[in-house]
């Protein structure tokens, strides 16, 4: 990943998560800024990990996932259960993120 791509990703994460870092943080090196953002995300998400996992396993979500799979397959012709796969990836990702939030950066390291 280039620095520009990394910076764009960081800005998107901050924006989507509603993270407002103190003034001057935008001048920090990207690695330090990512560390701060990851720490904030971890402190907000991980204490709710059990609640989030239970919600993902709820009947309402299961029905929504099933309907989404049917619609995606029907309209795109993709035979894979895209939403079901995404749901399982998200659950695995939540566990991994809460254990080592820095793992999000590994995908960008070449």
User: pLDDT (tens digit, 9 = 90+) per residue, 6-33?
Assistant: 778 777 877 777 777 777 777 888 888 8
Residue 55, pLDDT > 70, answer yes
Whether the CB-CB separation of 41 and 35 falls below 8 Å is answered with: no
**Residue 3: pLDDT band with limits 50, 70, 90:** low
Residues 61 and 99: their CA atoms lie apart, in Å, by 25
Residues 50 and 95: their CA atoms lie apart, in Å, by 10
Residues 83 and 91: their CA atoms lie apart, in Å, by 12
Q: Burial-class residue 101 by CB neighbours within 10 Å (0-12, 13-18, 19+).
A: buried
- Can you tell me the mean pLDDT for 69-92? 73
Residues 90 and 84: their CA atoms lie apart, in Å, by 10
Cβ of 87: how many Cβ atoms within 10 Å? Answer: 19
């Amino acid at each position: 990943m280039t620095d520009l791509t990394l910076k764009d990703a960081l800005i998107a994460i901050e924006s989507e998560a509603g993270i407002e870092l103190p003034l001057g943080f935008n001048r920090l090196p990207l690695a330090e800024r990512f560390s701060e953002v990851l720490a904030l995300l971890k402190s907000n998400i991980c204490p709710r990990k059990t609640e989030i996992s239970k919600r993902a396993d709820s009947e309402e979500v299961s029905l929504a996932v099933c309907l989404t799979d049917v619609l995606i397959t029907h309209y795109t012709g993709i035979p894979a259960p895209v939403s079901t796969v995404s749901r399982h990836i998200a659950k695995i990702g939540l566990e991994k993120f809460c254990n080592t939030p820095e793992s999000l950066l590994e995908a960008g390291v070449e």
